[in-house]
Amino acid sequence: MIDRGRLERHIAELSAIGGKGAAVTRLGLSREEQRARTLVGGWLAARGARVRRDPAANLFARFGSEGPAVLLGSHLDSVPEGGRFDGALGVLSAIEAVESLLDLQAPLRRPIEVVAWADEEGARFGVGLFGSAAAFGRLAPGVAERTDRDGVSIADALRSLGEVGDPALARREPKEFAAYLELHIEQGPRLADAGRALGVVSDIVGIYHARVTLRGRADHAGATIMSARADTLAGAAEMVLAVERIARAHPDGVGTVGEIAVRPGAKNVVPGECVFSIDLRAARAHEDLVRWVLAEVERIAHTRGLQSSVDELARVEVTPLDRGIALLLRRAVKDVGVDAELLVSGAGHDAQNAQLSGVPTGMIFVRSSGGSHTPREFASLDDAALGARALAIALRELAA
């Protein structure tokens, strides 16, 4: 049974850690995240779980004995000035699902592990999906030496939490897990727009991040005729519009230029240098999207006589989630009265690391008004309880 009152209390107690008004600041590998793990671990231990923290600061709580476990959970960290639901709701729904199954007092066909992944957001060290990457052996080499703005490394941060400072030691074998289930608020408006409380994720998009630098010539804005200019901002403007046009034409792509800066940056000087970011995502034909945009960047720079260089910062492949698990989750969601669409996740999730490591993985999205990564993100108690019930049904089918 989903206990709405308990779920509401848990949300409130967890939000108090790092909370200020509606805003929550609970960065990955911080003391606040650690306090959140201690709180949640206590609840799970009280229900009889064997609770442990691994060398990457992930929290695992295991019920049942031998064999491949059904893993479920999400993360407890937030972005700076984030909200109460991103990540947290997935961990608390996992607790409700487990409580619901234990209430049945039926023997477990498979063990269950509830997980709270450490530092999913990567807000402090710039390494997103950190804890799940460590557990599934997908950390980039040398990542423990990445530092925050104060020069503190991931290894240092882990040591100050009582770990040895080597997140690679957290590695587990994919065959330890029969499946991974994650519930998360939707980070866009599709469920809200469609008037649906829940959705099931079919794929997680591929993501390409790059920084483009254009070099032209800084000239006096009054004394340089239009035809004699090598204006990098005008070039960048064409590229921004190319990103938009190509993403619109792509079957399901999105493209964003979110950062831009010009030098020297004076109102009466033609910008001689311009640097901007490109973020390209798609669940299908992601490579095409990236290739088309880069070709346009090159063409526009060439036409305008600008030098361009593209630094690739990240490229994450498209992750199709497990079709069998998706069908199971759709039935579970239908059982609670929602005719769920299959949605593509436009944001990255720890579920990627599980799926890409070979663990059959599925995700449920819960409607959020107000988006995510903001104090305005909001999942109603009705929707949250509905999501937890669907997760419980899926868990019962997999583990009981």
List contacts with its own copies (CB under 8 A).
Answer: 186-190, 193, 205, 207, 209, 219-228, 231, 233-234, 236-238, 240-241, 244, 247-248, 253-262, 265-271, 277, 279, 281, 313, 345-348, 371-373
Q: Which CB, 233 or 293, lies closer to its own copies?
A: 233
Gap between the Cα atoms of 364 and 33, Å rounded: 23
**Please, what's the b/e burial string for 265-276 (b: 16 or more CB within 10 A of its CB; e: otherwise)?**
eeeebbbbbbbb
Alpha carbon distance 212, 207 (integer Å): 16
Q: Cβ 104 to its own copies, closest distance in Å?
A: 35
Q: Minimal distance in Å, beta carbon 298 to its own copies? A: 18
Least Cβ distance, residue 340 to its own copies (angstroms): 17
CA 85-330-104 angle, to 5 degrees, is 75
CB of 213 or CB of 224, closer to its own copies: 224
Query: Please, what is the minimum distance in Å from the beta carbon of residue 346 to its own copies?
Result: 3
Minimum CB–partner distance for residue 378 and its own copies (Å): 15
Compute CA 127 distance to the chain's CA centroid, rounded to the nearest angstrom.
11
Q: Which is nearer to its own copies, 15 or 372 (CB)?
A: 372
One-letter identity of residue 180: Y
Distance CA 385, CA 391 (A): 10
Q: How far is the CB of 347 from its own copies (least distance, A)?
A: 4
Q: Cβ-count burial of 238 within 10 angstroms (0-12 exposed, 13-18 middle, 19+ buried)?
A: middle
Distance, CA of 204 to CA of 283 (rounded, Å): 6
Q: Which residues lie closer than 8 Å to 128 by C-beta, 6 or more apart?
A: 120, 121, 122, 348
Identity of the residue, 304 or 334, whose beta carbon is nearer to its own copies in the bound complex: 304
Three-class SS of residue 80?
coil
When the beta carbons of 117 and 365 are compared against its own copies, the nearer one is 365
Is the CB of 251 or the CB of 358 nearer to its own copies?
251
Task: Closer to its own copies by CB, 23 or 400: give it.
Answer: 23
Given the complex with its own copies, which of 35 and 284 has the nearer CB atom? Answer: 284
Crossing angle (nearest 10°) for helices 4-15 and 381-399: 110
Q: Give the nearest distance from C-beta 337 to its own copies in angstroms.
A: 24
- Assess contact for 94 and 74: CB atoms under 8 A: yes
Nearer Cβ to its own copies (244/341): 244
- Residue 384 C-beta: closest distance to its own copies, Å: 19
By beta-carbon proximity to its own copies, the closer residue of 179 and 200 is 200
Closest approach, Cβ 57 to its own copies, in A, equals 24
Cα(261)–Cα(274) distance, integer angstroms? 6
* Residue 344 vs residues 2, 37, 203, 219, 321: alpha-carbon distances, Å: 27, 29, 5, 46, 10
Pairing of strands 198-204, 361-366: antiparallel
What proportions of the chain, in percent to the nearest 5, are helix, strand and coil?
Answer: 40, 25, 35
CB neighbour list of residue 10: distance below 8 Å, 6 or more residues apart: 43, 92, 95
CB of 77 to its own copies, least distance (A): 16
Look up residue 202 and give its two tokens. 């079919």
